[in-house]
A and B are shown apart, each in its own frame.
Chain A
């Protein structure tokens, strides 16, 4: 089972929830940080890293001696990463999405594959569990290509170790967020009952519900804000899997890099039952 921990609004507690679940998960688990623009799961899980690789995207390199400026590549490219202007061909490597279309359509075979560095993928162990993360290169604008390579590595790791994975997803509801949840079996939406939290929670529901995956909510900082989020969950038949109280002790533990499931028996109980609720949600969907 792959569990994706996502949110609409940032800062609602995705990493707090992911790290706590990873710390008490029953059976083998790989903790994955797919928030490649600003990974932070490692700050809580303190992994021992055993492997790393530099990730690349295939981009076009044009041999001008062979190019006839026919424009087939330029016509195909939806992102204008390759452009023919009269008897001139330009490439904009940072605009390339790496589809390889230009290489395929060039009738003169004048385009060869080059590389753009996307970032680093690192992996290792955190206690008895596996750990995997991506870190986007500074200046790189696109995170989904790196995320896809991290997920490919996850597939390899899961094939070896078996067990489950928990993904710390990026915030928002655009391509990176969708990319992080699309291959998961269960999506856990972490939110907070503030007006801003509620607004983005609705966006998250709109973005993720059409994926037809089991979906549940974790309400962090419960006690703040209004009851609107609870009404919304009732209306959409969205189960509330756990509530984490609004408590200064939690903020202090987080700020020290501690796993909050470990700071009190009550919180440990909250996350043990959250794990059970997530498993229940997945089983319910499997039998449906």
Chain B
């Protein structure tokens, strides 16, 4: 199974999922089989006046992940992720990164077809 990125308030599996995608503090990139993680800091996107979502999508595409787990992805970032072939799962705020990944592994997480909330 290929790697997934979770928008996160901090660098570890026990940090909370950041409900924002573009302005998330960072992304915990997880190999769901080994649960080995890397952290991508998103501080540069957080301070942008506009285009934070697109900038974050660039980081995600560069990290070579196949899924993003987050709270909500805005329309432009969604378009960018979609074009890059990255699937998006939303509404995962309120969980830790670990819980979000477990939920994903159990197959309870659906990919979003549009940027809208369900």
Contact = CB atoms under 8 A, between A and B. Distances in A.
B51 A74 contact: no
B48 A88 contact: no
B83 A88 contact: yes
Contacts of A90: 54, 79-80, 83
Ranked nearest first, the 6 interchain pairs of A and B with the lowest CB-CB distance are A80-B51, A80-B54, A85-B61, A85-B84, A79-B51, A83-B54
Interface in A97-151: none
A80 B50 contact: yes
Nearest to A92: B76
Interface string A71-82: 000100111110
Interface string B31-51: 000000000000000001111
Nearest to B52: A80
A90 B80 CA distance: 7
Interface in B88-113: none
A95 interface: yes
B76 A95 contact: yes
Nearest to A80: B51
A86 B84 contact: yes
Interface string A240-272: 000000000000000000000000000000000
A74 B58 contact: yes
A84 interface: yes
Interface residues of B, number: 16
Contacts of A84: 58
A88 B49 contact: no
A85 B80 CA distance: 8
B62 interface: yes
24 contacts: A77-B51, A78-B48, A78-B49, A79-B49, A79-B50, A80-B52, A80-B54, A81-B51, A83-B54, A84-B58, A85-B57, A85-B58, A85-B62, A85-B80, A86-B61, A86-B62, A86-B84, A88-B61, A88-B83, A90-B79, A90-B83, A95-B50, A95-B51, A95-B76
A255 B52 CA distance: 44
Interface of A: 74, 77-81, 83-86, 88, 90, 92, 95
B7 interface: no
B20 to A, nearest CB: 16
A84 B58 CA distance: 7
Contacts of B80: 83, 85, 90
Nearest to A97: B50
B8 interface: no
Given A86-B62, A95-B50, A95-B76, A80 B55 contact: yes
A212 to B, nearest CB: 26
A239 to B, nearest CB: 36
B47 to A, nearest CB: 11
B30 to A, nearest CB: 21
A151 B65 CA distance: 48
Interface string B54-79: 11011001100000000000001001
A78 B45 CA distance: 10
A84 B55 CA distance: 10
A188 B41 CA distance: 47
Contacts of A79: 49-51
B58 A83 contact: yes
Contacts of A81: 51
Contacts of A77: 51
